[in-house]
């Protein structure tokens, strides 16, 4: 990490694993990344906002999904740092990465509820994938986070 960014704080964030009835995971392709990388919904926590409420808000803002029920809050915060080429660019250079609280949720609605053409769209397309696919689709600097999430999801699906 470049020295001038070392002392930047981490951004408070949330991430949401959305499982459908077949235990497939919702992923979407970002508008701002030309490569074939996909991610699960995630975003920042507003000042004074509860993490769970932020997760529901971000999920709705990015996907229009409201019909979910909480399965599990993943223990602990998961952290990633931006690669050097994104430092000073993402989040207007205010943060060096994110510290995220992740939630696993069950999608209880109909697929027609899902709409990524939102007021401020972040995604080009979306799909449901098998649990083993999420670590093959994510950007490298978030891989360790997705590996941890993958283990947590597998624990739930076994029980």
CA 94 centroid distance within chain: 19
Structural domains present in the chain? 3-158 (3.90.79.10)
How much is the pLDDT for 89? 78
- Residues in the chain with pLDDT < 50? none
Q: Report the pLDDT value the prediction gives residue 51, as an integer from 0 to 100.
A: 97
pLDDT value at position 7? 86
Report the alpha-carbon distance of residue 97 to residue 119 in Å, rounded: 25
Chain centre to alpha carbon of residue 159: 24
Alpha helices in the chain (DSSP H): 51-63, 134-137, 143-158
- pLDDT score recorded for residue 2: 64
CA distance 89 to 99: 18
pLDDT digits (tens, 9 = 90+) for 130-148: 999 999 999 999 999 999 9
């Amino acid at each position: 990490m470049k020295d001038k960014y070392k002392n930047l704080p981490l951004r408070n964030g949330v991430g949401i694993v959305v499982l459908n009835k077949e235990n497939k995971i919702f992923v979407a392709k970002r508008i701002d990344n030309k490569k074939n990388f996909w991610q699960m919904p995630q975003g920042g926590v507003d000042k004074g906002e509860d993490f769970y409420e932020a997760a529901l808000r971000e999920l709705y803002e990015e996907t229009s999904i409201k019909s979910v029920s909480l399965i599990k809050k993943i223990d602990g915060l998961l952290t990633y740092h931006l690669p050097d080429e994104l430092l000073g660019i993402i989040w207007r250079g205010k943060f060096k990465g994110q510290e995220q609280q992740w939630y696993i949720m069950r999608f209880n609605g109909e697929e027609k509820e899902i709409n990524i053409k939102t007021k401020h769209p972040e995604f080009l397309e979306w799909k449901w994938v098998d649990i083993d696919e999420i670590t093959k689709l994510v950007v490298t600097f978030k891989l360790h986070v997705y590996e941890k999430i993958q283990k947590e999801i597998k624990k739930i699906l076994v029980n």
